[in-house]
Structures are given as C-alpha cells and as structure tokens.
Amino acid sequence: MSNDQKRANDAFQVREDAAKQELALPLPAHASNGDEGRYPNRVASFSKGLAHDDLGHVVVASHDAMVAALASAVPADFEQIPLGGDRRFVNPQAGLAFELEGADSHALAIPPAPTFAGKRQAGEMVENYWMALCRDEHFESYGASANVAAAAADLAKLTEYQGPKTAPQLFRGKSPDDLKGPYVSQFLWLDVPFGALTVDQRMKTVVKELDYVLDHTTWVQVQNGRGQGNNEFDSEARYIRNGRDLGQWVHVDALYEAYFNACLILLGAGAPLDDNNPYAGSKTQDGFTTFGGPHILSLVTEVATRALKAVWFQKWFVHRRIRPEALGGLVDNHKNQRSSYDLHAELLGSSALEAVRASNEKRSHGAQKTSYLLPLAFPEGSPVHPSYGAGHATVAGACVTILKAWFKESTTMKSLPTRAGGKAGLGPVVASADGTTLGVYAGADSGELTVGGELNKIASNVAIGRNFAGVHWRSDYEASIELGEQIAISVLRDQKKTYNEPFKGFSLTKFNGQTILV
C-alpha cells in the first residue's frame, strides 16, 4: 500500500470513528411545554409574521399551515404558508440541515420552556417589563436608582423568578462570575487589536427614552410582520453603559463578533494558554496552524454555524415559544378587557404593570393612557422566528466554551500586561455614566475578575442584551448557552482525533461550574 493510500485510509478512519462515537451517544427526548396543544386558538405559541385578527390573535389556519410545513419538511410547503405582512420567516429549514463535525443538530436538546400560565413565565414577563423600564439606567448606578429598587422589590416577590433579586445585581447572568465587577464584560469595552488596526469599542447607539410599539394597532401590525421604520441614533459614539446600548449592540452584531473580538484581545495581550497546550513546553516549536493563533481564531467562529443549526431545530421543530412582545399584547388585551386569558396572578398583580402603563403614556406624550404593552427597543420588534432557544445565546455558549478551552481561565485581568494600542494594563475598566470614556474599575473585587469569568459574563451580556430589547426571555438565555456549550464540546471531541501532537485534551469549566477534560 502506498503512503498516499495509507493516508487516505487513515483520514477515512478518523471520520468514521468520530461518526461512530456520535452515533453511540444516547438520543435525548425533545419535549415542548405543551402550550400549542393546550390552546387550540394557538394564542400561547409563536405566530409572528402570520395573519392575525384585530385582537392580535393568530388566524388558526395560517398557524396550521406553518406547523404542517414544519412536519412535512417539504421545501415547497414552506412557500405556501400565508403570511400577514412583508416580513418573511427566518430560515426554518436550517433546523433540518446536517453537520459534518460535532453533534448533529437533532442529537441535543433543551428542557421544555416555561408554560404560558405558569409562575416562571409570569416572573420572566415581569422581569422583561422592568428591563424595559430600566433601559436607560447606567449599570453602575443600579444601587442608587429608585427605579431599579422598585424593580428589585417587585421581582423579589415572585415565586419562581430565577434571576438576582438585589438592586446592584439586577438583570445579571446566572454564574457566580456574573456577580463580580461591572455589569459589562471587559471584552465589550477594551480596545481590539485587529491586525494593523486598533478598534475602539465605542458604538453607534440609539437615543435614550425612545421605545416602540406602544399602542394596540401598531402591535397588531407588528405581529402580522409589517415593518415599522428605523431607530433614531445618538450623534456620539459611546461605550456600552446601559440596557439600551446593550440591546442595540445585539441588534446589529455579527453573531460571533463579541467572541472573535475577545479572542483578539487575549491574543494581543499574550494571555496564557491552557496548560494542556502541547506547545507550552516545546523547546523547538510554536503552534500556528494547530494550537496557535490561526487555529483558535478560526475555531471560535467555526462553532457558530453549528450552534445556529442546533438551536434552529429547537426553535422551529420542537418549542415554537411565544415572544415577549406577543405576551405583552395579551396582557394589554386582558387589562383593557378586549379578551381574557389564564395569565398567572403573579403577573397580573405585579407593580410593573402600572409602571409600564405610566411609562407608555409618557413616551407616547399622553396618547396611550391605558397601554400595558411591553415597550420595545426595536421598531420592528422581535425577529420572525420563535423565541426558544435563543440564537445569540446558543452562539455565545458555543464560542465562549471554545475560548475557555483554549486560554487559561484562572488568569486575572489585572495580570494581563498590555492593552491594545500599547495603553497601560488590560483593566479592569468601567464605562463612564455618559459612555464617552473608560476609567479604572476600583471595586473591592477588581482583582477577582478572571479571563474565564469575563468570558462567562460576555456570554450572558450578549444573551441578556436581547432581553433588554424585549425580544427574549431569561430561560431562553439559561437553556441556550448550555446548548451552545454542548455543541462546542462535541466539536472539540471530534477535533481531538485529528492532531499529531501529544495532547491530553481540552480542559474547561462549564457554565454550571464543573471542570471537564475533552
């Protein structure tokens, strides 16, 4: 046998072994929350972009046509779904695509979403109302804000609300790292060394105190999928300093952008690599194509498309969860006695409802005196695909897992030597109240901010930024970052088989705190 033929046979064997390993893994159950069957009028399920009546209830035949197309998987059937406006569904067939590396998109699962009438859904809706009301509050001023204090007091009463319940830590993510330091990850503030360029992370943001979809007629149009114009932009670029900025950042980002930037920051600072990197102790070689800069820069983006395929299957073919903006419209209908629904008492009894009614009246200059709609940060509202899981959160979980496998997670941010552009020290830093400058973060926990912790935080920032905009739920974030983590681990598992170097494996700390070796 020639060397070339042996190599071809070995290459086939690597692929076959990876495929067999994936095939041998147990298959998960794909269970929805049952709301689609529980409510024959489909009022508790995703329906944006379909035809709706004057109450904003989906036309059942339109919804049934969507479900039938998903069940048949025949491309032509998707073309027969009757839409309600000019916005088209976002890529449902992506959930049927296969993958040649890592787990198949159908081989992973997330838990059923909270139910429409349940306590957890009530808590998440109350949180979304308060997030909208606190969009313009500077993150670092949460502890001194009466508005945030009112939100914390209201959320603390909720039986199954899963987020932090004290004002300084409100709306943060679920890991211990999320509770340390500034709300915003250092990787969303620090300069990015981009080849010969240095990229300043001040962003083009939107004007304050401008929310959208505050009246019933507009809300119905948005549910039908009709466009509503464009945002209005601030004349000055600013660092992310509040929920409105964060929401706008995740409105227009390339889905792996935050993690690619984080990777460039870490490489530019010479951040220590994981102890298992096979070139860490080499006397004669450096990593490059394998275990070097080009490898990690491509790998951190490579998992993004696989993460999207996995979550698109969950969105369209399993859960079809209602969007927050749609539930806000049902709350508005209920409170204004246009219709009634089995909304949980913890939602209907929340002080957020009166606060949002007053805010909607103010923001509409008195035109909407009894609107309980969720104020949206985007004129068009949510994307035209179901809420659960969340694409941004799944990609965040996948990309951050790759970075945690690559770099030494315990490295403190203070110990990293230089910032992009030769500026002193990588941090920690914090944005000013107006977002125009960065200053030194001098909190008592400044020395506790680590590479791994700030990577966990950037994942939650990006995922929860979508909640600040009013288009996702807390459980969308919580379940989806772990789905992305599973995708990344499966890719690392397959890739480990391909290296010539002696390599123990990728070590990383999962979002649940467990340290593993892949």
293-313 and 474-496 are packed helices; what angle lies between their axes, rounded to 10 degrees? 130
Does 385 qualify as catalytic in the annotation?
Answer: yes
Structural element, H or E, at residue 430: strand 429-431
Neighbouring residues of 41: CB distance < 8 A, sequence distance ≥ 6: 57, 58, 60
Taken in order 184, 190, 191, 194, the sign of the CA dihedral is: negative
> Are 502 and 19 contacting, i.e. CB atoms less than 8 angstroms apart?
no
| pLDDT for 421 | 44
CA neighbor of 517 nearest in space, from 273, 276, 306, 271? 276
Q: Which two tokens stand for residue 286?
A: 């450096």
Question: Taking residues 44-65, what's their average pLDDT?
Answer: 98
Beta bridge partners of 430: 439
Question: Taking residues 355-384, what's their average pLDDT?
Answer: 96
> Are 95 and 432 contacting, i.e. CB atoms less than 8 angstroms apart?
no
Residues 5-32 have pLDDT tens digits of 999 999 999 999 999 999 999 999 999 9
Structural element, H or E, at residue 311: helix 293-313
Helix, strand and coil in the chain, % to nearest 5: 45, 10, 45
Place of tokens 């901010």: 449
Instruction: Return the SS3 of 407.
Output: strand
Residues 137-148 have pLDDT tens digits of 999 999 999 999
Rg, the chain, Cα only: 24
Does 251 qualify as catalytic in the annotation?
Answer: no
Q: Is the pTM of this model over 0.85?
A: yes
Share of the chain above pLDDT 90, in %: 94
1 falls in which pLDDT band (50, 70, 90)? confident
| pLDDT for 420 | 44
The rounded distance, in Å, linking the Cα atoms of 482 and 358 is 37
Asked whether the predicted pLDDT for residue 454 surpasses 80, the reply is: yes
Q: Give, in order, the Cα–Cα distances in Å from 47 to each of 51, 83, 226, 269, 326.
A: 8, 10, 13, 47, 9
> Are 425 and 419 contacting, i.e. CB atoms less than 8 angstroms apart?
yes
Residues 401-443 have pLDDT tens digits of 999 999 999 999 988 865 544 454 567 999 999 999 999 999 9
> Are 469 and 292 contacting, i.e. CB atoms less than 8 angstroms apart?
no
Q: Which of 63, 106, 344, 392 is catalytic?
A: 392
Structural element, H or E, at residue 516: strand 515-517
Asked whether the predicted pLDDT for residue 373 surpasses 90, the reply is: yes
Higher pLDDT, 424 or 218: 218
Q: Which two tokens stand for residue 278?
A: 């096979």
Q: Which of 57, 319, 385, 472 is catalytic?
A: 385
DSSP string for residues in 180-233: SS-SS-GGGTS-EEETTEEE---B--B-TT--B--SHHHHHHHHHT-------B
Neighbouring residues of 302: CB distance < 8 A, sequence distance ≥ 6: 491
Residues 244-270 have pLDDT tens digits of 999 999 999 999 999 999 999 999 999
Do the bridges between strand 192-194 and strand 197-199 make them parallel or antiparallel, or are there none, so unpaired? antiparallel
The rounded distance, in Å, linking the Cα atoms of 397 and 480 is 7
Instruction: Return the SS3 of 509.
Output: strand
Taken in order 33, 114, 474, 89, the sign of the CA dihedral is: positive
